[in-house]
């Protein structure tokens, strides 16, 4: 079963969603689409961090990688274990988003998952907005290449992922609250 089918839930033989199959009990299609987009972005970022622990790809050297991706001198690069920790945390974030939207998962309604989703949303939005402010107003001594990519890609991506996560969290919680009050 692929990730899309796992997040979206069961479908009929003709690809249509089956009423009463449990797939409509949780989040609607828009929330699930947001969860798929957020989990795909988070898992891609996690995979990139795992690659960066061992390689400067797609750049040519560790010095270029340090300046463009991290915004520091090569001697200040984070250690391999720290970079792998970030990759693992991004994987955990992906799991939180997918778990939070799954209607059949009993963990989805737990305080741990909901708290994790709110924390993830906050961290991503703070990183994104903070990056726009710091890079936009040149408030740090980061290299110009890093500031360029921070304004063009890194910060907007964090804002989008944070927004998607927040959307999923609010909508799933409100749908569960509404279905719980109907019972």
Give residue 23's pLDDT. Answer: 45
**pLDDT > 70? residue 18:** no
How far, in Å, CA of 169 to CA of 177, rounded? 12
**pLDDT > 90? residue 148:** yes
Q: Predicted confidence band at 120 (pLDDT cuts at 50, 70, 90)? A: very high
Instruction: Say if residue 58 is preceded by a cis peptide, omega within 30 of 0.
Output: yes
pTM of the model: 0.81
């Amino acid at each position: 079963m692929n990730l899309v089918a796992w997040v979206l839930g069961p479908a009929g033989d003709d690809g249509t969603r089956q009423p009463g199959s449990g797939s409509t009990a949780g989040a609607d299609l828009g929330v699930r689409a947001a969860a798929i987009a957020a989990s795909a972005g988070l898992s891609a970022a996690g995979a990139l961090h795992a690659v960066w622990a061992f390689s400067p790809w797609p750049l040519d050297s560790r010095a270029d990688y340090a300046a463009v991706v991290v915004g520091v001198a090569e001697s200040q690069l984070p250690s391999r274990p720290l970079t792998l920790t970030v990759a693992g945390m991004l994987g955990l974030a992906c799991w939180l988003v997918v778990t939070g939207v799954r209607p059949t998962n009993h963990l989805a309604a737990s305080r741990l998952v909901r708290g994790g989703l709110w924390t993830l949303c906050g961290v991503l939005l703070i990183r994104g907005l903070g990056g726009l402010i710091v890079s936009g107003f040149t408030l740090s001594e980061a290299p110009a290449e890093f500031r360029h990519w921070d304004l063009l890609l890194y910060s907007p991506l964090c804002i989008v992922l944070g927004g998607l996560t927040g959307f999923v969290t609010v909508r799933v919680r409100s749908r569960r609250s509404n279905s719980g009050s109907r019972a």
